[in-house]
Structure 1
Amino acid sequence: MTQSFAPVVTEQTHAVSVAGFPVELPLVAIKPDLAISLMMVIDLGVRFGEHCGKALADQLSPMEPEIVVGAATLGIPVAIEASRALGLDRYVILQKSPKVHLGSALEQKITSITSKGEQRLLLDDRAVPLLKGKRVVVVDDVVASGSSLKGSIDLVRKAGGNVVGLGVILTEAREWESVLGPDAALVQGLAHIPQFRPGENGRWVARPETL
Structure 2
Amino acid sequence: MTAKRPGSPVTTQTWPVDVAGLSVDLPIVAIKPDFGISLMMVIDLGVRFGEHVGRALAEKLAPLEPEVIVGAATLGIPVAIEVSRAMGLDRYVILQKSPKIHLSDALVQPITSITSKGEQRLLLDQDAVPLLAGKRVVVVDDVIASGSSLKGSVELVRRAGGRVVGIGVILTEAREWEAVLGDDAKLVQHLAHIPQFTSDGATWTAIPETF
SS of equivalent to 1:117? strand
Query: What is aligned with 2:180?
Result: 179
Distance of aligned partners of 1:187 and 1:115 in 2 relative to their CA distance in 1, 3 Å threshold: same
Question: What is the distance in 2 between the residues matched to 1:86 and 1:139?
Answer: 13
CA pair 7-147 structure 1, distance change in 2 beyond 3 A: farther
Cα-to-partner distance string for 1:67-100 (whole Å, 9 max, x where unaligned) = 0000000000000000000110000000001011
Work out whether residues 7 and 31 of structure 1, in 8 Å CA contact, stay in contact via their aligned partners in 2: no
Separation (CA, whole Å) in 2 of partners of 1:49 and 1:77:
7
8 Å contact 1:59–1:188 — kept in the other structure? yes
Q: How does 1:1-211 map to 2 (within 5 A)?
A: 8-199=9-200, 202-211=202-211
Aligned mates of 1:7, 1:197 — CA distance in 2: 17
Q: Which structure 1 segments of 5+ residues have no match?
A: 1-5
The residue type equivalent to 1:109 in the other structure is P
Whether contact under 8 Å (1:72, 1:95) holds in the other structure is yes
Contact kept in structure 2, 1:121 and 1:152, CA below 8 Å = yes
Alignment RMSD (CA, Å): 1.0
1:106 Cα offset (Å): 0.5
Counterpart residue type for residue 203 of structure 1: T
3-state DSSP of counterpart to 2:56: helix
Q: CA deviation at 1:210?
A: 2.0
Match in the other structure for 2:3? none
Given that 1:145 and 1:175 are in contact with CA atoms closer than 8 Å, whether structure 2 keeps it comes out as: yes
Superposition TM-score, scaled by structure 2 size: 0.96
Q: Secondary structure at the match of 1:111?
A: strand
Counterpart residue identity of residue 19, structure 2: V
Given the superposition, is the C-alpha separation of residues 94 and 58 from structure 1 closer, same or farther in structure 2, using an over 3 Å criterion? same
**TM-score, normalised by the number of residues in structure 1:** 0.96
8 Å contact kept, 1:7–1:30: no
Question: Counterpart amino acid of 2:47?
Answer: V
Q: Which amino acid aligns with 1:146?
A: G
CA distance in 1, matches of 2:176, 2:198: 15
